[in-house]
Structure 1
Amino acid sequence: MKNFFDIDRWQEIWITITHNKSRSFLTAFGVFWGILMLVVMVGAGNALQTGIFSQIDGFATNSCYFTPEETSLPYRGFRKGRRWEIKNADIPIIRQRVKDIDQLSPLVYMWPNEENVVRGEYKGSYTLRGCYPENDNIDRSIMLKGRFINEIDIADKRKVCILGERVYEVLFPKGEDPIGSVIRANGIYFQVIGVSKSSSGIGIGGDPKETITIPFSTMQQAFNLGNAIHIVGVTAKPKVKVTQIEKEVGTVLKDLHQIHPDDPTAVWAINLEEQFNMFNYLGIGIAALIWIVGLGTLFAGAIGVSNIMLVTVRERTKEIGIRRALGATPNNIIGQILSESIVLTLLAGVLGVVLGVGILGAAGIVLSHGDQFFKDPQIHFSMAVGAVLILGVIGALAGFLPAQRAMMIKPIEAIREE
């Protein structure tokens, strides 16, 4: 410990490093560039992962959606190619038979035609969606103004609606309070009770920004949709795989509507748990690739440091021999060489970390002004500490071989060498 704080020792290390500035700079640049690229790539990878998950934030990761499609197999007198519909009466049966369902919400849609939504002189073409309050537990909405649909709206079949943020921007002057106002959608008048922003970038049935949400019961009655349901969304209970729910719900629907049990296309399902897992695996793969490339670059820089230290040891052969003759122990010689290697590596590496963090910070400021796919590029503090520790290990490894070479120098031969 005393040798570690020896001022003369650190002065000697500094003199050695600055003795040949060009060589020291070029040697350190390899490590500097390697750690800079590692920090920037890790930050970019984190930004990509944050951007991806911001698009699905608020959407239940254990959800699945079902919609009816044409049958592809004949069954019980029905020909293939038959079209069928999910009905209101199917919902309680699904709940009863599939015990592991947590949330369930049927959905109905009316897709936009030319300027189907009007408010005074303002008009536009937007999707109408009918849902239950439970849908907010599957695809959470951020209420910018007002409230979401509740059970009373469903029971009383109220003609109320929630505007997507884009719909609000088009139908209302900036800053005007829309709550209580009336709009006409597909010829029917509705009172605005809220303005919502989807917490995810996923649009089931249409872009959430350009969708008007109406109570499910109201929409079926107002637009004469009968008992037809276009989409059913469900979530699984905790610790239950969505794949299991997907199979069970599909089986129930096929049984209720006289569809062949092995028909692969009649019930179309999208398992969002699988999609989210794919995003997770993508993030893991990107992170692994970044670290492999980054560490490879760092070790290439370490090889350069090791080679230069070997050259330095050869140039200082006589000096080392004199030290040995004056009583320097092998540990003193090894410690000196290792210290020089570690200091050179750490200096270059810390500069690389600082510059890399600065670049990520500047990029974060630029990206914060928009809704880009890359968001908040940064590295965790633990990663920065880990990078410094890795640099110390790399510096020690880079100096180990030159230190061994220096220890093997015999004093008498070294003093004789010119």
Structure 2
Amino acid sequence: MFDGFQEILYTLRQNKLRTALTAFGVFWGIFMLILLLGAGRGMQNGIYSDFGSDVMDFIVVYTGTTSVAHNGRGVGRYIELTKDDIKSIQQKVPGVRFISAENNRGGISLVYEKKTGSFGVHGVPDDYFKIKESIPFNFGRKVNLLDNDQQRKITVIGTAVSERLFGKDVDPVGKNIRVNGVVMKVVGVFYDKGDRGRDSERIYIPQTTFQKLFGTSDKVGSIWLRPLEGVDGFKLEESVIQLLKQRHQVSPEDRRAIRSFNMAEPAKMVNGLFIAINGFIWFVGLGTLMAGIVGVSNIMIITVKERTREIGIRKALGATPTGIVSTLLMESILVTAIAGYAGLALGVGLLELISFALRSAGANLPFFQSPEVDFKVAITAIILLVVTGALAGLMPALKAARIMPIEAMRAD
């Protein structure tokens, strides 16, 4: 084994320029593949960040005015959702994992000592944060069941609100603020990057507290839902809309009275887009890589031709075909593995350097964030490289194993 390795190194040293050029072709192929995959992941991270802190399967149902007359009712009737609608959905529509109401008022005055601000106030039950489960809380906690049952005067505030009233990097939990003139205790601070961070310019209070503060009774501004795993969100959305139209005497053809937004729709479009982009990246990257592998195969063919006499002598002295094939294959694998690993290491290192530079500069590019390569992808690339390297040297090696000693001695 050691003697064979020494022989391979000797052969490579005898053809330094040829070996270097062949290795560079493989190195460049894997290097470009890693860079392209990292850039694709950076674009994917950037676009997904624009979706905010929300999960990718929620559905929001909201209302407007009727645009089609129905059952003797005219056009322009405003539809108001109620808590009874939520109960009806829970009873009659299967496949709902979580459901929550939401009420909101914009431009509400918030006061802390001498600092004031105008922000949106949202009244929600505790189930609301099971739907928006991806929102990170920097300090404190979320609204819970007891807050709603006891109509507690508490609030969780966005980071933009916290910075406006308390200053940056200050923990406001436990402090009191005035919400529309009512004293409420801050129990949590969240950051919602939705709408480019503007969703952090709001506060949440218990739904029952909101109803008492603004006199909304059992009225609901919008209904949020998440389907059970495996349930088709689009069919669930259709069933909910159909039920609400029946309850509120709305024409089935009316598209303005009861409307909805399904996060699965844009998520599906983006996922399809990135499947196509990743397919194109792999196509280009593997094409570049295969050019290097073809170079390895060509060099091995030349090597076999140059060493025809030597191979014939070795066979005459008792060398087995397996020994000759393994030596040539090891030469091919060694060149591709070392060059490929170097390309992989440099590509990953460059991506990490770019990611570090973006974080250090505080750059917030709208469609490019945190370029990276998945570990499984890197391992797949290395395995693919070794296999193709072996295949590149296999045909020349098999040809060498079939050389007859007498023919080899006649070779020029």
Structure 1 and Structure 2 fold alike (TM over 0.5): yes
- Return closer, same or farther for 1:147/1:335 CA change in 2, 3 Å cut-off: closer
Q: How does 1:5-24 map to 2 (within 5 A)?
A: 5=1, 7-24=2-19
Instruction: Return the offset for 1:45.
Output: 4.1
- Return closer, same or farther for 1:194/1:402 CA change in 2, 3 Å cut-off: same
Q: Which residue of 2 aligns with 1:395?
A: 389
Q: Aligned pair 1:196/2:189, yes or no?
A: yes
Instruction: Return the offset for 1:23.
Output: 1.5
1:17–1:344 Cα contact (<8 Å) kept = no
Q: Aligned pair 1:124/2:141, yes or no?
A: no
Instruction: Return the offset for 1:65.
Output: 0.8
1:205-250, Cα deviation, whole Å (9 max, x unpaired): x933111112223323323445542211122334433223212221
Q: Which runs of 5+ in 1 are unaligned?
A: none
- Return closer, same or farther for 1:180/1:191 CA change in 2, 3 Å cut-off: farther
Instruction: Return the offset for 1:348.
Output: 1.1
Q: How does 1:171-320 map to 2 (within 5 A)?
A: 171-174=165-168, 176-185=170-179, 187-198=180-191, 201-202=193-194, 207-225=198-216, 227-320=218-311
Instruction: Return the offset for 1:171.
Output: 0.4
Q: How does 1:338-417 map to 2 (within 5 A)?
A: 338-367=329-358, 369=360, 374-375=369-370, 377-380=372-375, 382-407=376-401, 409-417=403-411
1:90-134, Cα deviation, whole Å (9 max, x unpaired): 333333333443322111112237xx3332332333211111111
Q: How does 1:162-173 map to 2 (within 5 A)?
A: 162-173=156-167
**Secondary structure of residue in 2 paired with 1:133:** coil
Q: Which amino acid aligns with 1:181?
A: K
Q: How does 1:16-55 map to 2 (within 5 A)?
A: 16-49=11-44
1:29-78, Cα deviation, whole Å (9 max, x unpaired): 11111122223333444455556667769745443110002333221223
Aligned residue-pair number: 407
Q: Which amino acid aligns with 1:266?
A: A
1:271-302, Cα deviation, whole Å (9 max, x unpaired): 22344444544454444333333222221111
TM-score (norm 1): 0.84
Q: Separation in 2 of the partners of 1:385 and 1:397?
A: 18
Q: Which amino acid aligns with 2:172?
A: P
**Alignment partner of 1:63 out of 51, 58, 61:** 58
Instruction: Return the offset for 1:176.
Output: 4.6
Q: Aligned pair 1:107/2:107, yes or no?
A: no
- Return closer, same or farther for 1:239/1:417 CA change in 2, 3 Å cut-off: closer
**Secondary structure of residue in 1 paired with 2:136:** strand
- Return closer, same or farther for 1:143/1:318 CA change in 2, 3 Å cut-off: closer
Instruction: Return the offset for 1:164.
Output: 0.7
Q: Give the root-mean-square deviation of aligned CA atoms.
A: 3.1
- Return closer, same or farther for 1:414/1:112 CA change in 2, 3 Å cut-off: same
Q: Which runs of 5+ in 2 are unaligned?
A: none
Identity %: 38
2:173–2:189 Cα contact (<8 Å) kept = no
Moved more, 158-167 or 352-361: 352-361
Instruction: Return the offset for 1:395.
Output: 1.6
Q: Aligned pair 1:336/2:331, yes or no?
A: no
1:343-391, Cα deviation, whole Å (9 max, x unpaired): 21122112222223323343444455556652372431x4444333322
Q: Aligned pair 1:78/2:69, yes or no?
A: no
